[in-house]
Amino acid sequence: MSSMKVAKGRILVGKYELGKTIGEGSFAKVKFARNVQNGNYVAIKILDRKHVLRLNMMEQLMKEISTMKLINHPNVVRILEVLASKTKIYIVLEFVDGGELFDKIAANGRLKEDEARNYFQQLINAVDYCHSRGVYHRDLKPENLLDSNGVLKVSDFGLSTYSQKEDELLHTACGTPNYVAPEVLNDRGYVGSTSDIWSCGVILFVLMAGYLPFDEPTHMALYKKIGRAEFSCPSWFSPQAKKLLKHILDPNPLTRIKIPELLEDEWFKKGYKPTSFTEEEDLNVDDVVVAFNESNENLVTERKEKPVSMNAFELICRSQSFNLDSLFEKQTGQVKQETSFTSQCPANEIMFKIEEAAKPLGFNVYKRNYKMKLQGDKSGRKGHLSVATEVFEVAPSVHMVELRKTGGDTLEFHKFYKIFSSGLQDIVWHDTEGKKNMKN
């Protein structure tokens, strides 16, 4: 059995040193990590084994991960390896040094048509490759598209479905409503590849317009608009782009444009460069089989100390959001969804102050050790706003507090934080050299 070494707060799983949490969802948490053997950075998706078993998803998940591990495409985030402990499954992913495409749109409003077309071409290349291997994403949206210096990377295949037969109908309605195809919403069965094309069309519209083609205050009104494909293109769309969108956002999946036809479209072909890469021949899924095996052999272990003592590596990977003002800075071209601050107060006092500041704002507070989840009691534009917080020990008398949005709308998070932060003034460490102070 592999052992985990802990030194001064370091958390290692196998050969990987875990860093900050960079994503969190219903089924998994994603952490930034470093391979201590070669120094390479990765992202590790961590799933709770009991949760997967309780949902009776173990076999399905193993099949999907095995399929995705064999996917090797420049525009798809790769699975490098899979590890497991007695309680968790660790999916080691390629780390993409760039933000979500959503951040770029949120910061700039919309993209120029040529730039949007370039991203769309890369998206279609990735989707076409995955479809050819029986993988259907089913939750394509800008939040699942990463931008690495102009290179698009499709991520988060957690909702994808592996199907032996392309004509097999899927019956699980999933994904984000605004991007989901009509046949998915009416729950009459659908073909994964056709529904993915619809989502690609919505993404193309958002890239060029800066807003959604289908967006209503209630689900009922939204579903009606999607079912009838009621949308209008803004005046700055070229006639060729409008024509293509009409073919993609066709409410009838049988007549909706297919990828081979799309690849021949005049608007799509402008400046198009097919993806060129070499398939790796030594890819295998042996580690996936081992990870999902119920035996205790080849398992890794993980132990945590609360609060976690932060070493130089973890401090550096959080440095971009090391003060409260960073939430509102936009020099990087990204809309921040997380921030952090330092405090010289005891950890228990910090926890109390956070709870005291959140409850009057209509947030339910759930505590576990030195972590807290703040859950809004009112539903906003994208559901209930939720915020995760964690207290880390930087030195015996210094703590760092990280806050990040884990659910809801980013702009609503910013509005909440402006009020919430005013209640934390007396626990934030303001140094004597004039570092930035917390602003309302």
Reported as a single tens digit per residue, the pLDDT across 392-440 is: 877 777 888 888 888 887 778 888 888 888 888 888 876 544 444 444 4
Region 235-257: mean pLDDT is 95
User: 6 pLDDT exceeds 80?
Assistant: no
* DSSP state letters, 14-44: TTEEEEEEEEE-SSEEEEEEEETTT--EEEE
Amino acid at residue number 201: G
- Topology annotation, domain 101-269: Transferase(Phosphotransferase); domain 1 (1.10.510)
Q: What is the CATH number of domain 308-427?
A: 3.30.310.80
Q: How far apart are the first and last CA of the chain?
A: 51
Better-scored residue on pLDDT, 33 or 57: 33
Q: What are the beta bridge partners of residue 380?
A: 383
> Is 45 annotated as ligand-binding?
yes
Q: Do the strands 383-395 and 308-309 form a parallel or antiparallel pair, or are they unpaired?
A: parallel
Amino acid at residue number 416: F
The H or E element containing residue 103 is: helix 101-108
pLDDT in tens, 204-242: 999 999 889 998 888 888 889 999 999 999 999 999 999
Query: What percent of the chain has pLDDT above 70?
Result: 78
Architecture of domain 12-95: 2-Layer Sandwich (3.30)
- Please give the Cα distance from 248 to 413 (Å, whole number): 33
Task: Tell me the backbone φ, ψ of residue 154, rounded to 5 degrees.
Answer: -85, 130
User: 1 pLDDT exceeds 60?
Assistant: no
What per-residue confidence (pLDDT) applies to 139? 77
- Please give the Cα distance from 232 to 165 (Å, whole number): 35
Q: What separation in angstroms does the CA of 177 have from each of 173, 221, 222, 256?
A: 9, 11, 8, 19
Query: What percent of the chain has pLDDT above 90?
Result: 21
99 neighbors 155 (Cβ within 8 angstroms): no
- Please give the Cα distance from 285 to 426 (Å, whole number): 52
Q: Where are the CATH 1.10.510.10 domain residues in the chain? A: 101-269
Q: Where are the CATH 3.30.200.20 domain residues in the chain? A: 12-95
Task: Tell me the backbone φ, ψ of residue 207, rounded to 5 degrees.
Answer: -60, -40
Burial class (CB in 10 A: 0-12, 13-18, 19+), 90: buried
DSSP letter at 185? Answer: H
Region 167-174: mean pLDDT is 44
Instruction: Enumerate residues 6+ apart whose C-beta is below 8 A from 153.
Output: 75, 76, 77, 94, 96, 98, 145, 146, 147
pTM for this predicted structure: 0.65
Residue reference for tokens 């859950």: 375
Q: Which two tokens stand for residue 77?
A: 């985030």
Among 203-207, 248-252, 338-342, 367-371, name the one with the lowest average pLDDT.
Answer: 367-371
Among 144-153, 178-187, 203-212, name the one with the lowest average pLDDT.
Answer: 178-187
Q: Where are the CATH 3.30.310.80 domain residues in the chain? A: 308-427
287 is catalytic: no
199 neighbors 179 (Cβ within 8 angstroms): yes
Among the options 103, 139, 147, 196, which is catalytic?
A: 139
What per-residue confidence (pLDDT) applies to 307? 59
